[in-house]
Amino acid sequence: MPAIQEMDDTVIDARISVLLRSGMILSAIVIFIGGALFLLHHGRSIPDYRVFHGVQAPLNNVSGIVQEALHGHDLGIIQFGLLLLIATPVARVLFSVIAFWMERDYLYVAISGIVLVVLLYSLFVHRA
């Protein structure tokens, strides 16, 4: 039997488990660092969430958030951590597409592929 087919569901399960846990830990660390910087700089400001203004660009889209985080801005780093959190289940679906492909289970390559397209549409394609 070729080695590729030995990657059965339990192996996939174990790898998904590691992927989810690392994504969660990594994003929590990033959010924590951004949060600490934010409180250091703006801890005495008065928060106001009573009236909805909506978070404005660049913190409301993927490329803007990455730019802000790279510049070391505190809110950008928090938002980048939240993006990592959102990306974790997306990575899990991408991993499933690949794993089903290696199992030659093309029906489930298609099913997980549809889910992946829906997720990527939400994150990148549509604009408000």
Query: Which residues here bind other proteins, judged by CB under 8 A?
Result: 9-10, 12-14, 16-18, 20-21, 23-24, 27-28, 31-32, 34-35, 38-39, 42-47, 49-56, 59-62, 75, 78-79, 82, 85-90, 92-93, 96, 107-108, 111-112, 114-115, 118-119, 121-124, 126-128
Smallest separation, CB 96 to other proteins (Å): 6
Exposed / middle / buried, residue 79 (Cβ in 10 Å: 0-12, 13-18, 19+) = buried
Nearer to other proteins, 1 or 18 (CB): 18
Through-space distance between the first and last CA atoms of the chain, rounded to whole angstroms: 51
CB 26 within 8 A of CB 84: yes
CB 80 within 8 A of CB 63: no
Nearer to other proteins, 89 or 102 (CB): 89
Q: Where are the alpha helices (DSSP H) in the chain?
A: 9-42, 62-70, 74-102, 106-120
Smallest separation, CB 108 to other proteins (Å): 6
CA 75 to chain centre: 17
Smallest separation, CB 91 to other proteins (Å): 10
Nearer to other proteins, 4 or 11 (CB): 11
State how far the alpha carbon of 9 is from the alpha carbons of 4, 18, 25, in Å: 12, 14, 24
Smallest separation, CB 29 to other proteins (Å): 10
Nearer to other proteins, 90 or 102 (CB): 90
